[in-house]
Chains A and B, each alone.
Chain A
Amino acid sequence: MLTVANLSKQFGGQPVLRNVSLVLNQGEVLAVLGRSGGGKTTLLKILAGLEAPDAGTLHLRGQDLGPVPPNERQMVYLYQEPLLFPHLTVFENVAFGLRIRRVAQVEITAQVTALLDELDLREQAQKAPYQLSGGQRQRVSFGRALIIRPRLLLLDEPFGNLDAQTRADMQQLFLRVSRQHQITSLFVTHDSREALTVGTRFAYLDEGQLTSFASVAAFVEDARTAIGSELAFWESVQQKRNMII
């Protein structure tokens, strides 16, 4: 469905992406793990049309995305912060994508209400963003993206600012909703546990080079993901605990 071939990008002579290629099928969630400054955000922005690549091609369902402007790609880019519109209520934040498409009011009310129910935000519909908790804000941001039925969802460490429990809840919510709506996503994170939780396919991006993995096992075994060393750490903790008991 999404085919990226030999994507490259430089900033001030410094390569940020080097010949990045990937294929993503309908309903898949590609979890891209990587450290800060590895080119993750640049990759997402190029896919969204917010940055132009120096070389390479992008095709979505056979359509060359090169000449398509960002507002016609139907690919929503979600930031780490929810970036809710501060002057609009929760309902109007979610309805934004429909309002700009001049959808009829009856249809807007029906669609937004259904989505707010699904995201457990019905009670918050008339609240302002500043009255919400961090998790609720992220859910509103998620709903604002989902309402336009995006062809591809681009998530840039969306739960990075949440506490551990809320983050885990949001990961489960993301899983449930993306399976239910068959959403295709590219989920960037620096947290290997989050990558394993949300991903159906896995990749590692560092210094502009993307490595795709054929299986979860290959992803876990790759030393760069540091999942093996983390597993070893928890196993050693478990052994110490057993010895004490």
Chain B
Amino acid sequence: MPGTVATLSPARLLLWLYGLLVVGLPVAGLAYALLGSVGLAGPLAAGFTGRYWRALGADTGLLYAALYSAWVAVASVGISTGLALLLVLWAQPTLRRPPLPALLYVPLLMPSLVVAFYLFQLLSRAGWLSRLSFRFGLTANLEDFPELVQDGPGVGIILAQVLLSFPFLTLLFQAIYQESRLAEYYQLTLTLGASAAQFRRRVAVPVLLRQAAPTLLLSFIATLGAYDIPLLLGRPYPQMLSVYIATRLQRFDLRELPSAYLAGFLVAAGLLGLIGLLRLTGRARDTASVP
């Protein structure tokens, strides 16, 4: 109605536009991908068909990409979380004085592609470490140097993700440590008879992980959907999800597009479902504990 538009304040209008941008467009994209996967949208749309969905059972590529991405995300977030916890719980004095706090911000300033490129230069068989080991006689030829990038288990990708996320998680855990007054809890638990290890295991780690859980989940999802790092440091097979989908979308054969739409739709829907499930579980737990 024109009257309604006329009464909208500029701030409200901006809010609506922002909502459209962050919710409307992704939902529209998701809907377009779903329609594309059943032959109702896209350059070669020729009416409804379920053959791309049926073909999913025979195509193991998407499943492998999903499993490989899950492995990389679990390993990256797990290692980063472990390292950050180690620093926060065992190196409090070092974390509180220069230069470590400033140094932790440095990786956060670097674009992920730069980190990936740096690691490629450092760790590839033609890279600096390989050359140094050859120069010092540790390896006799290129093949003797272990495959650390573009490798099967994804060591290079995991290393790059850890390098980017562990400083961020350290700063997050440190902020939670201070806000939750864990230093005072430490003193209290000592007087209750606990050792430092018991304080860490029974109090500090549960408090830190519970409070950081939403951010850890977001880190997991971001790693799962990472593109530029696996593009540079990953192998053509297995591929991470984003590279797998992008490769299929960019193929010259337009008949491949519906199955790429289908893969994109399933990944996005799966992630949204995961977030929804975790929110529901959290809400149910909160409701159950209310008197």
A73 to B210, CA, bound (A): 31
On whether the beta carbons of B191 and A50 are closer than 8 Å, the reply is yes
Q: Out of A70, A83, A99, A126, name the residue touching B181 (CB < 8 Å).
A: A83
Across the interface, name the chain B residue whose C-beta is closest to A96: B192
Q: Beta-carbon contacts of B74-93 to A below 8 Å, as 1s and 0s?
A: 00000000000000000000
Interface segment, A3-11, A74-82, A211-219? A74-82
On whether the beta carbons of B190 and A86 are closer than 8 Å, the reply is no
On whether the beta carbons of A71 and B181 are closer than 8 Å, the reply is no
On whether the beta carbons of B187 and A77 are closer than 8 Å, the reply is yes
On chain A, the residues within 8 Å of B181 by CB distance are 83
Q: Beta-carbon contacts of B174-206 to A below 8 Å, as 1s and 0s?
A: 000000110011011111111100100011001
Interface assignment of B23: CB less than 8 Å from any CB of chain A: no
Chain A, interface size category, equals 20 to 34
On chain B, the residues within 8 Å of A79 by CB distance are 184, 188
| Chain A-chain B contacts (Cβ-Cβ < 8 Å), number | 71
Q: Out of B202, B206, B210, name the residue touching A100 (CB < 8 Å).
A: B202
On whether the beta carbons of A76 and B202 are closer than 8 Å, the reply is no
On whether the beta carbons of B191 and A71 are closer than 8 Å, the reply is yes
A48 to B187, CA, bound (A): 9
On chain A, the residues within 8 Å of B189 by CB distance are 96, 100
Interface assignment of B289: CB less than 8 Å from any CB of chain A: yes
On whether the beta carbons of A128 and B184 are closer than 8 Å, the reply is no
Given contacts A71-B194, A96-B194, 7 further A-B contacts (CB under 8 A): A74-B193, A76-B192, A79-B188, A97-B192, A99-B202, A100-B192, A131-B291
Can you name 14 A-B residue pairings with CB atoms under 8 Å?
A49-B190, A50-B191, A71-B195, A73-B191, A79-B184, A83-B181, A85-B185, A86-B180, A86-B210, A87-B207, A97-B193, A100-B189, A127-B289, A131-B291
